[in-house]
């Protein structure tokens, strides 16, 4: 199954008050494995960058001033995500900004039925524990040492690893037997998922000829160990 793990950076917390989307990063996954395909873009928000927001992601109004507007890149973005489920950490926040930008482009909102919220998954899996991206990366041993500030693509890449762990980690797809009607090998990027043909167990019984050869071989042995304890008659 194809899924898109994504993250956004913004000028603030509420698109209804004029805050805008300034960065989006997406990671494509197939069957919970990153394929290597990503989408990443910065956007000019046509407004100032509050100091509090810049302190979080480090994106200044000057840096963003020569970047494209969301409307200029929306087609590429929609082509990349297709109709796949969209995975985000605190997904309601990201969906709110994404759909606000789509509305300004005169386009339909992305249905929240496609939303997969890893915060909700983490809260269910670890009730009462901290569920920030940093805290969960620490819990699962995911290296975030290079995360000095928030960044949409970097955070999406970390979240992709976290999503795998929250979904069962290395046990995903573990099967004792696979139906031999399954499709042939599936290949994407530099990863190959192999579905092998299921073969029933074979009987391991010696044939009559093998038994006879064994009997003849035994007859050639001198003073076999199993006769050592016998008393001569």
150 counts as catalytic: yes
Residue 202 has pLDDT above 50, yes or no: yes
The CA-based angle 4-26-23, given to 5 degrees, is: 140
pLDDT of 223: 78
Q: How far is the C-alpha of 187 from the C-alpha of 35, rounded, in Å? A: 10
Most distant CA pair in the chain, distance = 110
- Spatial CA neighbour of 26 closest among 122, 110, 103, 130: 110
pLDDT of 207: 78
Domains of the chain listed by start with CATH number? 2-172 (3.30.420.10)
3-13 pLDDT, tens digit each: 999 999 999 99
Q: Which residues are annotated as a binding site?
A: 7, 9, 52, 57, 155
Q: What pTM value is reported for the model?
A: 0.71
pLDDT of 183: 41
Q: Which residues are annotated as a binding site for a divalent metal cation?
A: 7, 9, 155
> What three-state secondary structure class fits 33?
strand
pLDDT of 203: 64
Residue 201 has pLDDT above 50, yes or no: yes
Q: Which residues are annotated as a binding site for substrate?
A: 7, 9, 52, 57, 155
88-144 pLDDT, tens digit each: 999 999 999 999 999 999 999 999 999 999 999 999 999 999 999 999 999 999 998
171-188 pLDDT, tens digit each: 554 444 334 444 444 444
Q: How far is the C-alpha of 115 from the C-alpha of 110, rounded, in Å? A: 9
**In terms of pLDDT, which residue wins out, 195 or 141?**
141
Name the band, by pLDDT with cuts 50, 70 and 90, for residue 210: confident
pLDDT of 175: 40
Catalytic residue, candidates 40, 89, 150, 214: 150
**Once rounded to an integer, what is the mean pLDDT over residues 38-64?**
96
Name the band, by pLDDT with cuts 50, 70 and 90, for residue 231: low
How far is C-alpha 111 from the chain's CA centre?
21
């Amino acid at each position: 199954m194809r899924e898109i793990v994504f993250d956004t950076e913004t000028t603030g917390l509420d698109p209804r008050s004029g805050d805008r989307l300034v960065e989006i990063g997406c990671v494509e996954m197939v069957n919970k494995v990153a394929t290597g395909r990503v989408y990443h873009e910065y956007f000019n928000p046509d407004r100032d960058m509050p100091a509090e927001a810049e302190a979080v992601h480090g994106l200044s109004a000057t840096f963003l001033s020569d970047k494209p507007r969301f409307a200029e890149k929306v087609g590429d973005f929609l082509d990349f995500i297709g109709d796949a489920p969209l995975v985000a950490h605190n997904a309601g926040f990201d969906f709110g900004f994404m759909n606000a930008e789509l509305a300004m482009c005169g386009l339909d909102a992305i249905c929240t039925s496609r939303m997969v919220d890893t915060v909700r998954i983490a809260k269910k899996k670890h009730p009462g524990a901290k569920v920030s991206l940093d805290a969960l990366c620490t819990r699962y041993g995911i290296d975030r040492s290079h995360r000095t500030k928030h960044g949409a693509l970097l955070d999406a890449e970390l979240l992709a690893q976290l999503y795998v762990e929250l979904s069962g980690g290395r046990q995903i797809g573990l099967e004792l037997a696979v139906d031999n009607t399954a499709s042939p090998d599936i290949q994407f990027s530099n990863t190959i998922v192999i579905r092998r043909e299921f073969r029933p167990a074979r009987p391991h019984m010696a044939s009559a000829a093998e038994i006879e050869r064994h009997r003849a071989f035994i007859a050639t042995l001198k003073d076999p160990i199993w006769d050592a304890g016998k008393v001569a008659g």
